[in-house]
Amino acid sequence: MLKREDLSSENVDQIVADAHKAGYHFFLSSAERAASFKTAMARHQPGEELWVFAYGSLMWNPAIEFAEQQPCRVDGWRRSFCFWMPMGRGTPELPGLMLALEQGGACEGIAYRLEPHQVESELGLVWNREMLAGIYQPSWVATTLRDGRTVTALTFVVDTAHCQYCGDLPIERAAHHIAFAEGRRGACRDYLANTAAHARALHIHDPYLEELVERVAGLRDGAYVVPTVQADGEAVGEA
């Protein structure tokens, strides 16, 4: 589980340095993260509260302080395992897959409300976490809270031009990576399991997550035979 101290600028800068040494130059420097933060916050009025929409690990391991949380729905975007992650919950030999929002459909998750005095400190931690590899584009989305309110929330959608993007990946191959990829942050399957379990606890029914949970369970039991793939996502043989 991530802790607040894990998201300090010093710790994140070390991860970026390690990634650059390993040849992953798409990881963002502190200056690049700061620039993206400034751009995204141009439409936020200082002194006002801010909502953050969470759809993945931010739901079950936010590692930030907030004033309120509400189950919610965002239309026009769907939850998708759509980018490779060769570090964290994977390796260059067997990269993990991480969630992002892709256009189309709808997504239910959690909206966190940050009070004005929390915005800079807490969103700064979120930025160090979510903007680490530059795969996300910060976006403001209309969000319907379960209690009926409608707010505008900041969230993170996939950059389809990023070199790690792998949209429209067949679900069999996605399940294989999720089932077996592991890295220094743990197993990719645990990321899926925690997200699905938290969605259920919030009475969110997500058939996409549930199908992946079922397929991953089958793979771990040896019930499926799927292609093995290398870090760029190309098939290199069959198990």
Active site residues: 130
CA distance readout (Å), 96 to 41, 64, 158: 30, 24, 16
Q: HSE (CB half, 13 Å, CA atoms) of 112?
A: 23
In the DSSP assignment, the letter for residue 41 is G
CB 15 within 8 Å of CB 132: yes
In the DSSP assignment, the letter for residue 101 is E
Cβ within 8 Å of residue 143, ≥6 positions away? 51, 53, 72, 73, 74, 111, 150, 151, 152, 153
144-147, Cβ contacts within 8 angstroms, sequence gap of 24 or more: 144/72, 144/73, 144/74, 144/75, 145/70, 145/71, 145/72, 145/111, 146/70, 146/71, 146/72, 146/73, 147/70
Work out the burial of residue 228: count CB atoms within 10 Å of its CB; fewer than 13 is exposed, 13-18 middle, 19 or more buried: middle
